[in-house]
């Protein structure tokens, strides 16, 4: 425990003082947080209700809780807001107003009539996120993107909404263009899988081997599940659209060049054992984005917010403006 506190104290000093190396050493947390945490969960507030932003492409469903400067979270491939770890969100809400929303076609976020089947990509989903930020009148925003959500967050930071962004956090995501390392085909097939064994297979790629059994037992119980929220299955059409958007991300050299001029202070976080998006993506992002700081978490996989929800929450909270 003393070792973990010392590591975390050094991390916080680096974040607040800007003392962050271009290539960070692994950060080691003492124990996985999967299963049985005694910590705040925002969905236990009976007053918490889903709200809707009238986005340009249709309604965008969101939840808003906590108090402080705003943190907007963008989730990943085939994921709903339920895929955020409730304890991670609870830790953020200790010092920040937290906004989570569903990407288009997921949960309560539906395209306008006639928009189904229309091709869209990262820029379009970034426009949806921008609509949330604009409609809610948010300022001094920290945007946190996980996995595909990190790609959306990068695109968001390159657009007009960047004027409202004060910090950018990219978790377990990929660099754009030829410098990015795409996920392997077999991993993509697992993440898109259906059937009785799909859950176990997906846990096997989201977590390192020593955390898989805990993930199988406790992942569902640790998910953010507000009262009345319906995490309906993601349609094959939405999955295919998102998959094509991800594939095009790795051909977007324009985004890579633009990121080299990005002035938003950025924290890049990844698991050293990420089997979905290689850790090399995060190293590349830290090189491309001049003000970026890099944190590589030892013994962590792609879904590291479920492994270390309180530690990651503290890390993001300290990086975001107060």
- Decide if 301 is inside a domain: yes
Strand runs labelled E in the chain: 26-27, 51-55, 58-66, 69-74, 96-101, 141-146, 165-171, 266-271, 292-297
- Decide if 92 is inside a domain: yes
- Decide if 12 is inside a domain: no
- Decide if 118 is inside a domain: yes
Residue 253 has pLDDT above 60, yes or no: yes
Q: Provide the 8-state DSSP code for 66.
A: E
- Decide if 11 is inside a domain: no
- Decide if 14 is inside a domain: no
Residue of 59 and 6 predicted with greater confidence: 59
Q: How many structural domains is the chain composed of?
A: 1
In this structure, what CATH number is given to the domain that contains residue 200?
3.40.50.1820
- Decide if 13 is inside a domain: no
| CA–CA dist 306, 157 (Å, integer) | 26
Q: pTM for the complete prediction? A: 0.91
pLDDT band (50, 70, 90) for residue 243: very high
- Decide if 15 is inside a domain: no
| CA–CA dist 292, 264 (Å, integer) | 8
Range of the domain at 38: 2-6+20-319
Residue 10 has pLDDT above 90, yes or no: no
pLDDT (tens digit, 9 = 90+) per residue, 87-123?
999 999 999 999 999 999 999 898 766 666 678 999 9
Phi, psi angle pair for 320, to nearest 5° = -70, 150
pLDDT (tens digit, 9 = 90+) per residue, 172-231?
999 999 999 999 999 999 999 988 899 999 999 999 999 999 999 999 999 999 988 877
């Amino acid at each position: 425990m003393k070792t973990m506190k010392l590591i975390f104290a050094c991390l916080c000093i680096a974040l607040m003082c800007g003392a962050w190396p271009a290539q960070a050493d692994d950060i080691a947390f003492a124990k996985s947080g999967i299963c049985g945490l005694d910590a705040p969960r925002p969905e236990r507030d009976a007053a918490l209700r889903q709200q809707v932003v009238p986005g340009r492409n249709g309604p965008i469903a969101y939840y808003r809780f906590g108090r402080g400067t705003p943190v907007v979270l963008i989730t990943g491939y085939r994921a709903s807001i339920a895929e955020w770890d409730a304890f991670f969100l609870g830790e953020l809400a200790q010092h920040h107003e937290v906004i989570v929303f569903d990407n288009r076609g997921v949960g309560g976020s539906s395209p306008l009539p006639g928009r189904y089947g229309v091709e869209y990509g990262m820029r379009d989903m970034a426009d949806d996120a921008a609509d949330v930020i604009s409609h809610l009148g948010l300022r001094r925003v920290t945007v946190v993107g996980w996995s595909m959500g990190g790609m959306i967050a990068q695109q968001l930071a390159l657009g007009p909404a960047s004027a409202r962004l004060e910090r950018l956090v990219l978790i377990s995501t990929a660099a754009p263009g030829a410098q990015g390392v795409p996920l392997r085909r077999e991993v993509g097939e697992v993440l898109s899988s259906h059937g009785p064994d799909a859950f176990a297979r997906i846990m096997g790629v989201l977590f390192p081997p020593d955390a898989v059994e805990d993930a199988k037992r406790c992942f569902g119980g640790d998910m953010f599940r507000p009262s009345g929220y319906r995490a309906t299955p993601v349609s094959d059409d939405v999955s295919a659209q998102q998959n094509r958007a991800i594939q095009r991300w790795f051909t977007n050299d324009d985004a890579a060049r633009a990121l080299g001029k990005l002035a938003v202070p950025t924290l890049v976080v990844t698991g050293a054992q990420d089997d979905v998006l290689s850790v090399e993506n995060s190293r590349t992002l830290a090189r491309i984005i001049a003000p970026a700081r890099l944190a590589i978490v030892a013994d962590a996989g792609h879904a590291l917010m479920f492994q270390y929800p309180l530690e990651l929450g503290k890390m993001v909270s300290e990086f975001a403006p107060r």
